[in-house]
Amino acid sequence: MEFRLFGPLEVDDGDGNRLDLGTRKQRAVLARLALEPGRVVPLDRLIEELWAGEAPAKATATLQAYVSHLRRVLEPDRKPRTPPRVLLTREPGYVLDVTPGQTDVGRFAAWAADGARLVRQGRHAEGARTLDRALALWRGEPLAEFPDLAPAASARLEELRLVAEEDRLAARLALGEASVPDLEALTEAHPYRERAWGLLVLGLYRAGRQADALAALRKVRALLAGELGIEPGPELRRLEQAVFEQAPELDPAPKPSPAPDPVPAPVPAGPGSGRLVAREDELRVLEELLARARHGRGGLALVTGEAGIGKTSLARAVADLATARGFRVEWGRCLDGGTAPAFWPWTRAGLIPPSPQAELFDLYDAVLAELRTGPLLVVLEDLHWADASSLRLLGHVAGELARTSALVVATLRPEPGDHPEQLRETLGALAREGRRLPLAPFDASGVRDYLRLRDVAADPQELLDRSGGNPFYLTELLRLPERERHLVPPGARDVIERRLARLPEPTRDLLGAAAVAGREVDLDLLAALVDRPVEEVMSHLEPALAAGLLTQPLTGAADYRFSHALVRQALDQGLTRLDRARLHLRAAGHLETLPGADPAILAGHFAAAARLGGAPKAVTYATRAAAQAAQRHGYQEAVQLWELALDHLPPGDSPERCRVLTELGQARRTTGDAEGAYRDLTEAVAQAQRLGDRDALVAAVSVFGGLSVWNWRPYGVVDEDMVAILEDLLAGDLDDRSRAALLGTLGIELHYGPRRAEGERLALDAVGLARRSGDPMLLARALNNYLIASFVPGRNPERLAAAEEMLAVPGLPREARLVARVLRMSCLLRAGELAEWSRDLARCEQLLHEVARPELEAMVRVAQTADHALHGRWAEAEALAEHFPKISFGASLWGQEARRLGVLYTCRRGEGRVAELLDELVAAGDRPLMGLVRPLAILASLDVGRTEQARRLLERWGVDLREDWSADFFFPVWGLVAAQLGTPDPGEMYERLLPIADQPIVLGTGSGALGCVHDVLAELALRLGRTEQALGHNRAAIARHRRLGLAYLESRSRARGAELAP
């Protein structure tokens, strides 16, 4: 049987016959179930979606009729009173028991994923064919007959289609097909998809239409700027630069040999996997109660907690245990709304016939007789909605359960329900007879376990804050794409809105106003927002407390707190824009009158009321709050506040906008967001130039030389425009402080170009000016600039002295101390002062707890890998290297991937496993801005005996012997290449490396560690026919490694010496 959901709904019976599915609503039922093949769709969700929230009184009966008709259509040969095999009833709803492969939607998703995987592996022809098959299934829009049935699922499928189309066209490009008409049509239909534009540009370029490719880039830049007010992303910007330069990487790559299929990953545990999180104690109690029931001592358990807390999941887990132990298991679910017939859950559980004719007490006795036929588990769900008769029956049988072999597990929420008085009476009776198991929300540990069980990478603390630890809300959040997790998931919104609908109208109105105030609710502020007495407000909030939507914190200044951030967000989004703006303006006005009001909160309220005149005050308070945040080292918060200020300034050039852009760029740079900082500072520079404001221009360009352990330009890039601006400013009149700052900045800017040595001299001049100024912070900055500008072979003694001087500057803030220590560490490592280097590393690890800067944490972690690698602890070094992208989360500084590969090469070389890394190194060497790893790829080819490949790579890439911070590592690497291939010139490499013979070979702060340079000199001397020199360098390497306490490297040098010995 095959189900087709693209276009009009169609079902094929397997013999080529199309089934008549009946009326539109009946067809909609099947379509909704077919969207989730093999998964239970709850009854209440089906009703909600089919009738769009306006279900008739007999919706359940109507739905059951539709299901009955569909069963006859799907299984016409099924005999009467035999269970269905396709459309099944499964608590708490229905399931279409077919595989995803029996639906065109399921096949499409699987083939699209397979095609994408093949394209990533370089198997472009197979990938293109697979994606063609997937896209051929798209006969029309999904659920075309029912556009309002499941809009989120339709949108997800449309996104999958567009990604598959892009993957298909990318594969065609890789196969040498330009596909320009298809790409033009795609960008015309979906003009904001930057990947599609990038593919079009590449297709045009490869078709020999470079001018058209550049025109396409101009078109998308204008479109994004004009329509969205944004710049193209980094990939498009890099592509634009490559097209301008006619970069070789734009040419089609040689076809790689097919990669083997990867080993399939294990299927992650899902909601139905049987695994529970943070419910082990409760399950153990229920397991004990099952054991007692089995021996004739039955009982009752009440599983309590808010909606979505996991009551049903726990009940299912105990039902699985009961089934495995031979229990009969029956389920009954109470219905919301007070419309269910008497004894409904007991009837659903099969303990009472559908139309009981017996007298009441005879009926009670009949139920008790059923309970005595055990072992039996009865699950009664949503007891708070139970009819009064069912509650009285439960109260009656509870006292008899101890003399049966039955366990009754009832779930309920802390809500008054449809029969509050009877519910209170029954619960009072059950308190004497039953065991109550309240389920608490997940804590941080529970969220981590939940994510680990489902093999999901996400920030557990952020998800805890958003979900409040509620498993249902957590699941719904994870259903959203990561970029949309700031929204309220549709499923969670439905649950929240149903809970709100049961509250009195004054309570709902108060909660809407409270949502504007934030997650924490101050009673006086709320009373001011609604202009009501405090006592009246408290009275109206009681139902929200009872429903668990609000809590009253035991500590802290807040009077109330929303139980979940999602509840507050859903309420806030339910307000009209005008009502929301008015409430925010009223809140801001009230808070402004209070002493010590938080400027960040005031900025947020005034910003939300910008359309009502709040924008100027939003800017005032945001700039004040941003400065305070930076003083507290809250740099990410400062970025957000400067962004808020920028968004609420009037458009156009102005001194204030220029200042805010400069401050925002400074804040972004501090968080490690180099790309964002560059964008803001470049705009600040341009505005300052247009305004003719020289002071503002100096302030903006000075940020480029601020506190840092690294040159934040991409490797090999010199910004000639910035160099020209700096030189123009330095040619004019400047005070010594500004001149020192600009000289140091220029020194860094020149580092990657032919004027590097001049830049070093300028940075040294800046240090002289700063020393004479008597300003300690200016001196620290100038020394920092010099340490970056002078990072070349042969300068280690001068750099170590500069780092020592920087560290000794009086009153140095913690961040500057950490920067100085990291820079000093790299010098100590090269000097072979490993004991002092280890002490500095330990101090840096301590300082990380006080300084929240991703860039600095990343560099300290890099140094830790060097410690492991130098001592041959490969597993530890590799584990740290693989975490570099996570460690640097939020930082866009160049070089994370190059650092990772440097560490991995060091480890794999030490373990004799270089072959595993070779393909990745070669692929990286072909990527833009990754030329740094090319000598490693060539050396790795030689390591595994692929000499001809090494020669081809050398011919393709050439030799790059630029003097910069990487030369301490890559000059020795080139030396090892020269010793085997004769290129670059072995004699020249020997002379270059001789002055640093004793120095350990490390990359930057420690991204790679290959022993000391004597090892390389020995190989070069051997190549030059100087055997005695080679032996001398080998002995020197052994002695050096012994003095440094590097046993692994010493033994490696000894082994090489034995090979060299005559």
SS3 764: helix
Q: What is the pLDDT of residue 271?
A: 33
CA distance 367 to 361: 10
Name the pairing type of β-strands 87-90 and 93-96: antiparallel
**DSSP state string for 957-1002:** H------STTHHHHHHHHHHHHHHH--S-HHHHHHHHGGGTTSEEE
At the fourth CATH level, the homologous superfamily of domain 599-812 is Tetratricopeptide repeat domain (1.25.40.10)
What's the Cα-to-Cα distance from 98 to each of 3, 39, 981, 1045, rounded to whole Å? Answer: 9, 9, 62, 65
Rg of the chain over CA atoms, in angstroms? 35
Spatial contact of 854 and 890, defined as CB atoms under 8 Å apart: yes
| Residue type present at position 410 | A
Assigned CATH class of 1-177: mainly alpha
623, 644 in Cβ contact below 8 A?
no
| 230 phi-psi bin (left φ>0, alpha ψ -120 to 50, beta other) | beta
* Residues 915 and 944: beta-carbon distance below 8 Å: yes
Residue 850, class by beta-carbon neighbours within 10 Å (0-12 exposed, 13-18 middle, 19+ buried)? exposed
Residues sharing a CB contact under 8 Å with residue 989, sequence separation 6 or more, in sequence order: 971, 974, 975, 978, 1020
Distance of CA 599 to the CA centre of its chain: 30
Assigned architecture for domain 853-1060: Alpha Horseshoe (1.25)
Rounded Cα gap, residues 507 and 537, in angstroms: 9
Q: How many CB atoms lie within 10 A of CB 112?
A: 24
Domain 488-575 has CATH 1.10.3720.10: no
Is-same-fold flag (599-812; 853-1060)?
A: yes
Q: Is 466 left (phi over 0), alpha (psi -120 to 50) or beta?
A: alpha
What pLDDT is stored for residue 143 in this prediction?
81
SS3 content of the chain, % helix, strand, coil (to 5): 65, 5, 30
Beta strands 93-96 and 299-304: pairing type?
Answer: unpaired
CB-based contacts of 256: which residues, under 8 Å, 6+ apart? 122
Is the bond leading into 56 cis (omega within 30 degrees of zero)? no
Task: Please give the Cα distance from 691 to 683 (Å, whole number).
Answer: 12
pLDDT, residue 339, reads 53
Beta-carbon contacts of 454 under 8 Å, excluding residues fewer than 6 positions away, are: 268, 269, 270, 478
Residue whose entry in the numeric block shows the structure tokens 């000016």: 769
Prediction pTM value: 0.59
C-beta contacts of 755-760 below 8 A and 24+ residues apart = 756/789, 756/792, 756/963, 756/964, 759/789, 760/786, 760/789, 760/790, 760/792, 760/795
Beta bridge partners of 437: 303
Query: How far is 413 from 420, CA to CA, in rounded Å?
Result: 12
Cα(919)–Cα(944) distance, rounded to whole angstroms?
A: 12
Low-confidence ranges of the chain (pLDDT < 50): 255-274, 888-891
pLDDT of residue 919: 92
Q: What phi and psi, each to the nearest 5 degrees, are found at residue 560?
A: -135, 165
DSSP 458-484: --HHHHHHHHTT-HHHHHHHHHS-GGG
Contacts of 436 (CB under 8 A, 6+ apart): 301, 302, 304
CA distance 635 to 600: 14
* Every domain of the chain and the residues it spans: 1-177, 280-440, 443-485, 488-575, 599-812, 853-1060
Q: What is the CATH number of domain 280-440?
A: 3.40.50.300
